Structure 1
Amino acid sequence: MLLFLDTEYTGLGQEAPRLISLALVAEDGSREWYAELAEGWTVDDCAEFVKREVLPHLTGPRLTLAEARASLRDWMASAPRRCVAACDAARDFQFLLELLGECPDNLEPTRFDLAPLIDTNAYHRAVENYHVTYDRPWHHALYDARSYRLGWLASQSDHMRRASR
C-alpha cells in the first residue's frame, strides 16, 4: 500500500532544516496520520517563505517529539504489512524515518518518487483541483498529502485509459 507523505519544515536550502509537521494518507483513503511538532523548531528558525506560507495554516495537534513518535509508530503498526512512502522529495522521507526513529518492518526502506508525475497533466490537474475545490491551502502537510493521493489516482486512471487504446 502506498502512503502519501508530505512534510513542512523550517526552510529549503538550510543546512539542518527542522521538521514542523508530517502527514501520511493511505492509498485507499481510509487512514490518515497528521501531527505538528511542538518542539525542535522555533519561528526564528523559519525561512520567510515558511513564516508566510506555512505557519499561518497550522491546525494542530501539536505534539512533543516523543508523543509524535509513539503515535506514528502505533499508526504504522496497524498499517498493512507492506507499505511504501510516496513523496516528491527525498527530504520528506528522511524526516519520516527520523520521526519514526527506525524503519518499521512494514515500511519499505526506499520511497516511491512522485516527482516524475508533477508535470503530467492528469496529476497536476488533480492536485490543483483538490486545493481549489476544497479551499485547502498549499503548504499544509495533510492537505498536500491528500492532493498527492488524488493526483496519483488520476495519473493511474489516465495511464490505464491510454493503455486500453
Structure 2
Amino acid sequence: MLLFLDTEYTGFGQLRPKLISVALVAEDGRREFYVELTDTWMLDDCTAFVKREVLPLLDGSRMSRAEARAELHAWLAHAPRLVKVACDSETDWHLLLDLLGTPLPANLADHYYDLRPLVDTTIYDQTVAAYYQTDAREHHALVDARAYRRGWLAWMDVRKERGDGP
C-alpha cells in the first residue's frame, strides 16, 4: 500500500531544513496522519515564502518531536500491510526518516515511490489542480498529500484504461 507523504519545512534550498508539519494519506483514503511540530523550528528559521504561504495554514494537532515520533510509529504499526511512501521530494522522504528515527518500522519500505515523473503528465497535473479547487490550502501538508493521492489515482486509472495495468 502506498502512503502519500508531504511535509512542510522551514525553507526550500536550506542546507538543513527543519520540519514544521508532516502528513501521510493511505492509498485507499481510509487512514490519514497529520501533525504539526512544536519544538523542531522557530520563526526565524523560516524563509519569507514559508512565513507567507505555510505558517498561516497551520491549524492541526501540535506535538513535540518525541510525541510525533511515537504517534507516527503507532500509526504505521496499524497499517494493514507493507507500506511504501510516495512523494515528490527527496527532502520530504529524509525529513520523514529523521522523524521516525531508528529502528524504522518493520513494515515500511526502505525507499520511496517517486511521484516527480507523474507531475509532468496532464492527468496528474490536472487532477491535483482540480483538488485545490475543492480545498485551496496548497502548502498545507495534509491537503497536499490528499491532492497527490488523487493525482496518482487518476494517473493509475488512465494506465488501466490503456491496458498498462498497475
TM-score (norm 2): 0.95
- Asked whether the 8 Å contact 2:82–2:108 carries over to 1, the reply is yes
- What SS class does the counterpart of residue 73 from structure 2 fall into? helix
Structure 2 CA distance, aligned partners of 1:156 and 1:122? 10
* Runs of at least 5 residues in structure 1 that lack an aligned partner in the other structure: none
- Structure 2 distance, partners of 1:81, 1:2, is 10
The answer as to 2:123 corresponding to 1:162 is no
Matches of 2:32 and 2:138, distance apart in 1 = 18
Per-residue CA deviation, residues 31-66 of structure 1 (Å, 9 max, x unaligned), is: 000000011101110001100110000112110011
| Aligned equivalent of 1:106 | 107
Partner-residue secondary structure (3-state), 2:136: coil
* Structure 2: runs of 5+ lacking an equivalent: none
> How do residues 15-164 of structure 1 correspond to structure 2 at under 5 angstroms?
15-102=15-102, 103-132=104-133, 134-163=134-163
Matched, 1:2 2:10: no
The one-letter amino acid paired with 2:132 is: H
- C-alpha contact (below 8 Å) 1:80/1:106 kept by paired residues: no
Shift of 1:137: 1.1
Deviations along 1:69-126, one digit per CA (max 9) or x if unpaired, are: 0100000000123100000011111111111112211000000000000010110111
Q: Distance in 1 between matches of 2:50 and 2:146?
A: 20
* Most deviating of 97-106 and 143-152: 97-106
The whole-number CA distance in structure 2 between the counterparts of 1:144 and 1:153 is 14
TM-score (norm 1): 0.96
Q: Sequence identity of aligned pairs in percent?
A: 56
Paired residue total:
163
Query: What amino acid is the match of 1:128?
Result: A
Letter in structure 2 aligned against 1:105: A
Q: Which runs of 4+ in 1 moved over 2 A?
A: none
